[in-house]
Amino acid sequence: MSFTDIVILVLTLAFFAFALYDEILINHLKSPTLLSIPLLRRSRADGMIFVILVAILIGNNIHAHGSTFTTWLLSAMALVGFYIFWIRTPRIRFKKAGFFFSGFWTPYSKITAMNLSEDGVLVFQLGERQLLICVRNIDDLEKIYKFIVNNQ
């Protein structure tokens, strides 16, 4: 196994670990998920560029009669990347004491202000930092509001 194969394997496993963490593990961390809201995707263009670049690498490896193992690793990376960027739905998961947003835990005690912009973006002020939450369905903003009011 070459150094390139090791790097591709590690990156593919990291992508796969993130997918498992985001889909399965977060639901059980801290406490059971009480409310899960789907969010808008940021940009599919970045994911498309990644998958196309990996497809070019696969084609280049096949054309140069490279290792079959490398082709399989690149194919696995392309599939996991396709899942993460195109199939997986980003979500915000509300728990008893806080919420998971973009894979990171934020306790409710860190929220200093909560605002709603004119274009339907929920803004959590966390001291110096802001979290911009763009929900897929505008009615979900009311669910979030009711959940936070009832649980605080």
Cα 90 to chain centroid distance, Å, stands at 5
Reported as a pLDDT band with limits 50, 70 and 90, residue 111 is: confident
Q: Report whether pLDDT(63) > 80.
A: yes
pLDDT at 56: 92
Q: Report whether pLDDT(152) > 70.
A: no
pLDDT at 114: 82
Q: Report whether pLDDT(143) > 80.
A: yes
Rounded to 10 deg, the angle between the 68-82 and 3-20 helix axes is 20
Please give the model's pTM, rounded to 2 decimal places.
0.72
pLDDT at 107: 85
